[in-house]
Amino acid sequence: MQKIAIYPGSFDPITNGHLDIIRRSRLLLDKIIIAVNDNPSKTFLFTVKERTEMIKGAIPASPGIEVESFRGLLVRYAEKKGARFIIRGLRALSDFEYEFQMDLMNRKLSPGIETIFLMTSQKYSYLSSSIIKEIVQLKGCSEGLIPEIVREKLLEKFKNNF
């Protein structure tokens, strides 16, 4: 039986930290579906289409990796896709409480779905989409932290904001 996992997130925008989690989880599982959350009540810098396209642009087409967007409950989406696993990356202790709460709630909603947590690689442990947005907007150096396509899209977004 194929081991299918959902890697959900806002990805506003995707960073090299996310890409590292995708690469490492693909070594463990047969298929990873990167699922971009389309939540109309949340404010994002990029539209769901832009976030999805950036991920597709950042990841070479590869068997076992798909990129989609989803609305509504994550576990319902996972069930629809036949996924038994959810992947989440953990950076610091500060991530733990929220992730623990989500894991418990997701398991209550759908007991058959397990969340697998991967610890971030040390070199990305201080990285977040929010920090990246600020660094690029303030013309800081983002080398090695985000894919080139993301850097270009961020610069385009902020071109009138400097």
Give contact residues for ligand PNS (rule: CB under 6 A): 8-10, 37, 73-74, 102, 105-106
Which residue from 80, 83, 81, 67 is spatially nearest to 115, judged by alpha carbons?
83
DSSP-derived secondary structure letter, 10: -
Q: What element of type H or E holds 136?
A: helix 129-137
Is 62 marked active-site? no
Residue with tokens 């397990």: 114
CA angle 105, 34, 130 (to 5 degrees): 80
Is 23 marked active-site? no
Kindly tell me which of 64 and 72 has the beta carbon lying closer to ligand PNS.
Answer: 72
Is 18 marked active-site? yes
CB of 97 to ligand PNS, least distance (A): 13
Kindly tell me which of 39 and 139 has the beta carbon lying closer to ligand PNS.
Answer: 39
CB of 159 to ligand PNS, least distance (A): 26
| Options 41, 42, 108, 159, the catalytic residue | 42
CB of 136 to ligand PNS, least distance (A): 18
| Options 23, 24, 81, 91, the catalytic residue | 91
CB of 4 to ligand PNS, least distance (A): 17
Q: Would you say 83 and 6 are in contact if contact means Cβ atoms under 8 Å apart?
A: yes
Kindly tell me which of 130 and 139 has the beta carbon lying closer to ligand PNS.
Answer: 130
Is 157 marked active-site? no
Report how far Cα 39 is from the mean position of its chain's Cα atoms.
14
Which residue from 157, 149, 141, 161 is spatially nearest to 47, judged by alpha carbons?
157
| Options 10, 18, 26, 88, the catalytic residue | 18
Kindly tell me which of 76 and 139 has the beta carbon lying closer to ligand PNS.
Answer: 76
Q: Would you say 92 and 63 are in contact if contact means Cβ atoms under 8 Å apart?
A: no
Q: Would you say 120 and 91 are in contact if contact means Cβ atoms under 8 Å apart?
A: yes
Q: Return the active site residues.
A: 18, 42, 91, 129
